[in-house]
Amino acid sequence: MTYQKNKPKITIGMPVYNGADTIKRALDSLLAQTYTNFELIISDNGSTDSTSKICLEYEQKDKRIKYVRKKNTIGIIWNFIFLVEQAKTEYCMWASADDYWDPKFIEKNLEVLELHPEIVASISDIKLVGKNIKNYYSNPDDYNSNNSKWEFVRPNIGTYEKKIQNILEFNWILNIFSIFRTEQLKECIIRKTFASWDFAVMLKIIKFGDLYVLDDVLMFRDTGGITSTKSEIELMKRQNFGWFGTYFPYVCYTIWCIKNIGLRIFLKNFSHFWYLNTHTGKKILREIITGVRKK
């Protein structure tokens, strides 16, 4: 497949902050795609390392790349939102500066979307790489106990209610790195920031169609930047959720779900939200008490 000048089919949006250690690998893997008819927009969230220098060099080398640098850090989620808003193409995807892709990733997923209008997003199976794979699991027991075919991404078909249940029961939301139909994804973007924002977006996108997963492993998720910190408060603070969102992280998401998936479906899945809020709440409370005692 060849690149047709000024007529890109897909926008790749890459949010980055201090990604100098991995962004070259990410960009090289995208530029090596067999499907070449794309634009690649990099949104630098105010990096303080050599990310800017690297991105400017790549922008000069390949006309498909556009580099945008934020003067001030706008937060991870707002950077994702910004990139979708820039897309004017039929399809779009987010691409983490930590990850890399097989050359066939875009080609094979676009083939699925072109042939199946009922599918709204498509991704390949994913393999974790890097030095912190174990830290990627919120529950250490999951690292050794998984027996599912779909460990990190899962296809999702059926009724809307069934698809909601599928997302809520699944611990991962890496389907957010699928290739999407741009028009539908833009309708699903939530212009608020809260924990599990990515889950909320996916709960909206499944109204428009099914989620597809290719059997082949064509995406590699680097865990090198995954923190080993056990501090729930610190994790929330890094995402700029504000005071309430830091100490009561899943309340906003829970309220959003009540309003958007409907009270009946919410109540059927009430145990999920109860666990999400109480489990995290207990961890945060223990942190606060421990901090007070140390003082």
Q: Which of 191, 181, 210 is nearest to 80 (CA)?
A: 191
* 211-255: pLDDT as tens digits: 999 999 999 999 886 554 567 888 787 778 888 989 999 999 999
Q: Taking residues 131-152, what's their average pLDDT?
A: 62
Q: Does residue 188 have a pLDDT over 60?
A: yes
Q: How far apart are CA 101 and CA 25, in angstroms?
A: 9
> Where do the structural domains in the chain lie, given as residue ranges?
10-222, 232-294
Least confident span in 32-36, 67-71, 249-253, 280-284 = 280-284
Q: Does residue 295 have a pLDDT over 80?
A: no
List the structure tokens of 100.
């890399």
Q: Describe the strand order of the beta sheet including 10-16 as a list of residue ranges.
A: 65-69, 38-44, 10-16, 91-94, 179-181, 119-129, 210-222, 100-101
Q: Taking residues 59-69, what's their average pLDDT?
A: 97
What dihedral angle (degrees, nearest 10) is formed by the CA atoms of 51, 57, 60, 62? -80
pLDDT reported for residue 229 = 53
CA angle 234, 251, 190 (to 5 degrees): 90
Q: Report residue 106's pLDDT band, with 50, 70 and 90 as the boundaries.
A: very high
pLDDT reported for residue 146 = 47
- Topology (CATH) of 10-222: Spore Coat Polysaccharide Biosynthesis Protein SpsA; Chain A (3.90.550)
Least confident span in 18-32, 206-220, 278-292 = 278-292
Contact call for residues 51 and 142 (beta carbons, < 8 A): no
pLDDT reported for residue 144 = 47
Sign of CA dihedral 156, 273, 228, 146: negative
pLDDT reported for residue 142 = 54
Q: Which of 118, 121, 123, 72 is nearest to 96 (CA)?
A: 123
Q: Taking residues 96-114, what's their average pLDDT?
A: 97
Contact call for residues 33 and 101 (beta carbons, < 8 A): yes
Q: Does residue 164 have a pLDDT over 50?
A: yes
pLDDT reported for residue 147 = 43
Q: Report residue 3's pLDDT band, with 50, 70 and 90 as the boundaries.
A: very low
Percent of the chain whose pLDDT exceeds 90:
73
